[in-house]
Structure 1
Amino acid sequence: MSTAPRDNRPRGLILVVEDEPAIAELIRLNLAQSGYGVHLESDGARALDTVRRLRPAAIILDVGLPGLDGIEICRTLRAAQDWTPVLFVTARDDEVDRIVGLELGADDYVTKPFSPRELVARVGGVLRRTHGVPDAAPQTVGAVTLDATQHRVFAGDDELALTATEFDLLAHLMRRPGRVFTREQLLSEVWGYSSVAGTRTVDVHVAQLRAKLGGASPIRTVRGVGYAAEGGA
């Protein structure tokens, strides 16, 4: 596999949790060449301690770790209200629904074998979503208000905890109320890449958002087309 082009600008610390040394080193090399700090762990329990100690900007997490696997690590973090962005690495594409499922709150995923360039690009996309849009005016659609500057979402008077990807997806829909976006458009404009096979993750994240927003959800499905944010539930 080729490595990503070198970029020495500091971009934050990425925790890589991967038990296969060759893959861990490939990820480390490409992230480092793109300007990220990198810390490697191969054990799930140590990874949880490292998250609490180092507070990384994002976590690249192998699903198939021995012992405490990636899914349990992510579930533990989210249960503790730790919303550090998580990008899963999985050997099986059919695990997608599980790893970005409603109970986990993952931000993105790649399947093995993966392109190092794609992995670095997806990390950058997750971090951009985390930082939000500076000086953006709050958006309100129906009972939902989104403040991109403070990275906060309210359904009525209740503040919701969203992942970076959930937040950015909701913000993208709410910035243009009534406009219908195809799944391919959302994948390109929110996730930052294009893949017909990857559009399923859009549906999973929309379902996740609706579950959190409850009856206040402004997201409408346009059958055969995509999604829109409108004033009704």
Structure 2
Amino acid sequence: MKTKILLAEDDPDFGMILKQYLELENFDVSWYQNPQDIEPMISSSDFPFDLGILDVMMPNIDGFSLARMIIKENNSFPLLFLTAKNQKIDRVTGLKIGADDYIAKPCDPEELVLRIKNILKRTAPNTPESLANIGQYMLDSTKLLLSHPDGDIRLTVREQELLLYLLKHNHSMITRDDILNTIWETNDYFTGRSLDVFISRLRKYFAHDPEIKIQSLRGIGFEVDFPGS
């Protein structure tokens, strides 16, 4: 079965190029130039897409606003932003919303396909050993679900990927370079800021258990302590 991609891009030439290229790569692409046409589908119990590619700058509804609507109804839905801007605020805003990746326009279609495949690889079903005790929490990696007696948290794909990497290196010192090169596959200012956003998010999620620690080591990276894992 083909992966169904939601493409929101108002530029007719660029949108057509992306749609045709992605279809050549065997993706099923639904392209919308007007994001308002997507709204009625968002609240549907059968949201028909596996991944979304959203242009940040669109008329009527910008990509960030559209993403917030989608995430509100489909918390773990993988999202990738297209942006013509290189300002860090755009990228950080997208990450805070819950995006899994971003790519600057005009982009290399081959790079876009590679990023899509990496996201889909991270969302693929895990092995049967998908449950992990983390202090007072339980992680179900097949459902992207972090459970606690006070409530459940639906993780994004990138949040879970980072958490699993930290769990793999429990009770160890981890350098920022290792995390960035392994998970983001690059190491620059913007990915460094992205890492900081995701680390802050994980600390917030684990706030109910004071025994869980993700400690920053200035100029080095992090030291993690996940009891019971």
User: Do both share a fold (TM > 0.5)?
Assistant: yes
- Supply the AA of the counterpart residue of 1:30: Y
| 2:165 equivalent among 169, 172, 176 | 172
Query: Which deviations, in whole Å up to 9, do the C-alpha atoms of 1:36-85 show, x marking residues without a partner?
Result: 11110011121233454652110000110111111111111222344311
Contact preservation (8 Å) 2:167, 2:226: no
**Selected match of 1:120 from 103, 110, 113:** 113
Aligned to 2:200: 207
Give me the whole-angstrom Cα distance separating, in 2, the residues matched to 1:111 and 1:152.
30
In the alignment, is the contact (CA less than 8 A) between 1:136 and 1:149 conserved in 2? no
* 1:21 equivalenced with 2:16 (yes/no): no
How many residue pairs align between the two structures? 220
Q: Which residue of 1 aligns with 2:27?
A: 36
CA separation of 1:108/1:91 partners in 2, compared to 1, >3 Å: closer, same or farther? Answer: same
Which position in structure 2 is the counterpart of 1:90? 83
Contact between 1:16 and 1:39, CA under 8 Å: does it hold in 2? yes
Structure 2 match to 1:100? 95
Q: How far apart are the structure 2 equivalents of 1:153 and 1:215? A: 12
1:189 maps to 2:185 = no
Unaligned runs of 5+ in 1: 1-9
Q: CA deviation at 1:141?
A: 3.4
Unaligned 5+ segments in structure 2 are none
TM-score, length of structure 1 as denominator length: 0.83
Which one of the candidate residues 41, 50, 68 is aligned to 1:57?
50
CA distance in 2, matches of 1:170, 1:212: 11
Cα distance change on mapping 1:37 and 1:227 into 2, 3 Å: farther
SS in 2 for 1:93: coil
1:110-165 deviations in whole A, cap 9, x for unaligned? 11222212211111121122225222353333333323244322245532111111
1:213 Cα offset (Å): 3.0
Q: 1:69-103 deviations in whole A, cap 9, x for unaligned? A: 111111112223443111011112221111112xx
The residue type equivalent to 1:77 in the other structure is I
Counterpart Cα distance in 2 of 1:205 and 1:132: 22
CA distance in 2 between partners of 1:153 and 1:85 (Å): 17
Tell me by how many angstroms 1:172 deviates: 1.6
Distance 2:158 2:125 in 1: 10
For the structure 1 residues 218 and 26, does the alpha-carbon distance in structure 2 shift closer, same or farther, using more than 3 Å as the test? Answer: farther
Q: Is 1:219 aligned with 2:210?
A: no
Preserved contact between residue 132 and residue 168 of structure 1 (Cα < 8 Å): no
Q: Is the aligned partner of 1:229 residue 2:224?
A: yes
Work out whether residues 75 and 156 of structure 2, in 8 Å CA contact, stay in contact via their aligned partners in 1: no
CA distance in 1, matches of 2:12, 2:136: 49
Deviations 1:4-59 (A, max 9, x none): xxxxxx54111110001121122223322222111100111212334546521100
TM-score, normalised to structure 2's length? 0.84
